[in-house]
């Protein structure tokens, strides 16, 4: 029973340290996210455009004094790490203002601070018990599983959207080809009828 409780604690520890979200970014629009951090706190940012246009977006990060810590334009994905030097609100912004009609979908993973010990006395100098060693091993495995699931989920969403877009283009192309073939067929029939009409008129005039 205690073993299950420790596993639940491990899951909570993983989820409490990160904020993951997927949001819509319309064309000619910008969205910002704010986080109040203490001095000396390390934070990590991972983002990826999973749908829309050329799968690119502008991103910049500023400190409480509006100093630019990170700025990249038209990036499909990237990572950024920084340790705060002042206490205050840090801002992460994503801009799609360079696009006039492409709607984007962006994934953001924001992690701040150091991971807390799994147990209150985990930092003690004595050796870990078998149960504590097993918990640490499970914890590391769960982190790998969580990261892998996130990667596969993003990959699946990215590939699915590309497949849907390709399917839509093929459908429109097929409809266009069908309409063009129909128009050409009607034109050929009318042209053949005009040849026979002209021939009948010539024969009638000669008689």
Domain count, the chain: 1
Range of the domain at 140: 2-161
| pLDDT in the model for residue 116 | 64
Residue 40 to residues 14, 118, 127, Cα–Cα distance (Å): 21, 22, 30
Q: How confident is the model at residue 202 (pLDDT cuts 50, 70, 90)?
A: low
181 domain-assigned: no
| pLDDT in the model for residue 92 | 94
pLDDT tens digits for 24-81? Answer: 999 889 999 999 999 999 999 999 888 888 888 999 999 999 999 999 999 988 899 9
29 domain-assigned: yes
- Residue of 110, 105, 132, 111 lying closest to 121 (CA atoms): 132
Spatial distance between the Cα atoms of 171 and 142, rounded to a whole number of angstroms = 42
176 domain-assigned: no
140 domain-assigned: yes
């Amino acid at each position: 029973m205690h073993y299950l409780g420790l596993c639940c604690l491990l899951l909570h520890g993983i989820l409490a340290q990160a904020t993951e979200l997927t949001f819509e970014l319309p064309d000619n629009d910008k969205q910002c996210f704010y986080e109040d951090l203490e001095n000396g706190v390390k934070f990590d940012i991972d983002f990826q455009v999973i749908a829309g246009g050329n799968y690119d977006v502008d991103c910049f990060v500023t400190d409480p004094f509006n100093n630019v810590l990170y700025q990249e334009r038209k990036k499909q994905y990237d990572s950024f790490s920084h340790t705060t030097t002042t206490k205050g609100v840090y801002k992460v912004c994503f801009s799609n203002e360079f696009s006039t009609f492409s709607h984007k979908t962006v994934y953001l993973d924001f992690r701040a601070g150091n991971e807390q010990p799994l147990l209150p006395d985990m930092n003690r100098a004595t050796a870990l018990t078998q149960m504590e060693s097993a918990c640490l091993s499970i914890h590391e495995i769960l982190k790998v599983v969580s990261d892998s699931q996130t990667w596969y989920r993003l990959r699946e969403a990215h590939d699915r959207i590309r497949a849907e877009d390709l399917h839509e283009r093929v459908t429109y192309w097929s409809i266009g080809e069908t309409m063009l073939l129909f128009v050409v067929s009607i034109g050929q029939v009318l042209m053949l009828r005009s040849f026979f009409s002209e021939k009948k008129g010539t024969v009638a005039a000669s008689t």
